[in-house]
Amino acid sequence: MGEPVSRVRPLRIGMVGAGTISGQYLQTVARLEDLQLTAVADLDAARAEAVAAEHGAAAEEVDGLMGRGDVDVVLNLTVPQSHAEVSSAAIAAGKGVYTEKPFAADVAAGREVLAQGRGSGAVVGGAPDTVLGTGVQTARAALDAGVIGTPTSATATLILPGHESWHPHPDFYYQPGGGPLMDMGPYYLTALVTLLGPVREVVGAASALRDERVIGSGPRAGERIPVATPSHVTGALVHADGVISTVVMSFDGAATRAAPIEVQGTEGALSVPDPNRFSGRVALSRDGGGWHEVPVSAGYRHAARGYGLADLHWAGAFDGDPLRGRAQGELGLHVLEVMEGLLASAESRRAVGMDTTVERPAPVPMDHR
Ligand SMILES: NC(=O)c1ccc[n+]([C@@H]2O[C@H](COP(=O)([O-])OP(=O)(O)OC[C@H]3O[C@@H](n4cnc5c(N)ncnc54)[C@H](O)[C@@H]3O)[C@@H](O)[C@H]2O)c1
């Protein structure tokens, strides 16, 4: 991993939500000297206290954390239904905010948060930041170098049997706001926008052919849970320049050998690794020939969860220009609108145009942090 690297004054983080994913963020914070955890809050006070004690930070109520002078940014790791409320409170308290995905539970709430943040000059960013790693960034560098000619189409495929096989409390995956698209779609769609640019229109089709699922592990093993949201979502995204991405996000499959993402072009095809990971092999096939690995050429070499926030800091977002850096709220909101649009289109059987747009975030040159 190399030595911790410090280039700027540490960014002081107040973390709200000390659940499952927080451990991965805290590893990154411990490794990067430019990030410093000062306070932790959670609805579960005991959880906040335990995590705070372990990391030498203060345990707070949510309101107390927002009022602290030693918090520059609120790291919002709460559940999706709380994202907008916590982000909005952080901005109102004069803090920046970086939220886990999705940017909000729905586009209307996400729009309000972003408008509030931009109106007050706050930093507003969010996950996923997996796209800043060497996997997607090497693919992007290859695309931008023209190795497949002009991109013409892409496919993105996630097919799983469903999380109820291993998750002891999988109920929320099958309620509105859950499902394969809202849960895993942010990784794939953020990667597609990073590679191919914003989306102008979507067409969706979705199904939920089983109305119950069976919990496979833990104390509730064997219990049946209801399905109230599509468990198989497919669709086409028409990007602003006319390239079409075909997306399959499913908790209704047995297995797949499809590449997570493939991009086709006039002179070749590019295979992109799992966008839920920071690294992985990029492969290229040119002119109908065999597949060859593309050497790693771009991205944060040691990226892990939290690098999106670090990137905003390194780029100077907290030094007066909140739009510097890559994992910006505009990207999170656009991806959320694409997801909502796919589900709305599946229901209405009509194409849905996007109101939001976003520029492709700047590429990440090879960076050994
Ligand atoms: N678990 C994963 O593998 C994973 C991976 C990537 C991203 N995420 C995302 O991270 C986020 C959190 O997921 P998780 O798995 O850590 O969930 P979790 O349920 O394990 O933890 C969430 C924590 O937030 C707290 N919380 C909820 N609402 C709150 C509020 N209003 N104020 C203060 N605290 C609040 C809860 O008490 C809980 O401790 C989600 O948006 C999820 O999509 C999770």
pLDDT at 98: 99
186 in contact with ligand 1, CB cutoff 6 A? no
Q: Domain ranges in the chain?
A: 11-126, 133-298+336-353
d(CA 285, CA 265): 10
Q: Which residues pair with 133 in a beta bridge?
A: 300
pLDDT at 52: 98
CB 160 within 8 A of CB 180: yes
d(CA 178, CA 301): 31
CATH number of 133-298+336-353: 3.30.360.10
CB 33 within 8 A of CB 10: yes
* 284 DSSP 8-state letter: E
> What predicted TM-score, i.e. pTM, was given to this entire model?
0.96
184 in contact with ligand 1, CB cutoff 6 A? no
Q: Which residues pair with 53 in a beta bridge?
A: none
d(CA 87, CA 125): 10
CB 263 within 8 A of CB 195: yes
Distance 51 CA to ligand 1 centre (A): 14
3-class DSSP state for residue 140? helix
Count, residues in the chain: 369
Strands 73-76 and 96-99: parallel
For 353, other C-beta atoms within 10 Å of its C-beta total 12
Residue whose Cα lies nearest atom 4 of ligand 1: it is 21
Q: Which of 15, 21, 339 to mutate to test the pocket of ligand 1 (most atoms within 8 A of CB)?
A: 21
For 218, other C-beta atoms within 10 Å of its C-beta total 12
Residue in the block written with tokens 């067409």: 203
Q: What's the topology of domain 11-126?
A: Rossmann fold (3.40.50)
Q: Return averaged pLDDT per consecutive 10 residues of the chain, 369 residues in all.
A: 58 96 97 97 98 98 98 96 97 98 97 98 98 98 98 98 91 92 97 98 97 95 97 98 98 96 98 98 93 98 98 97 98 98 98 98 96
Instruction: Give the CA-trace dihedral at 307, 313, 318, 319, to 10 degrees.
Output: -170
Q: Which of 15, 16, 20, 336 to mutate to test the pocket of ligand 1 (most atoms within 8 A of CB)?
A: 20
pLDDT at 2: 43
164 in contact with ligand 1, CB cutoff 6 A? no
Distance 293 CA to ligand 1 centre (A): 36
| Residue 47 CB-half CA count within 13 A | 14
CB 364 within 8 A of CB 326: yes
pLDDT at 287: 81
| Residue 136 CB-half CA count within 13 A | 30
CB 42 within 8 A of CB 15: no
* 355 DSSP 8-state letter: S
Whether the domain at 11-126 and the domain at 133-298+336-353 fall into the same CATH topology: no
CB 64 within 8 A of CB 295: no
Per the rule left: phi > 0, alpha: psi between -120 and 50, beta: everything else, 79 is beta
Distance 82 CA to ligand 1 centre (A): 9
Q: How far is CA 180 from CA 67, 142, 210, 234, in A?
A: 37, 29, 14, 10
Query: What is the rounded radius of gyration, in angstroms, for the C-alpha atoms of the chain?
Result: 20
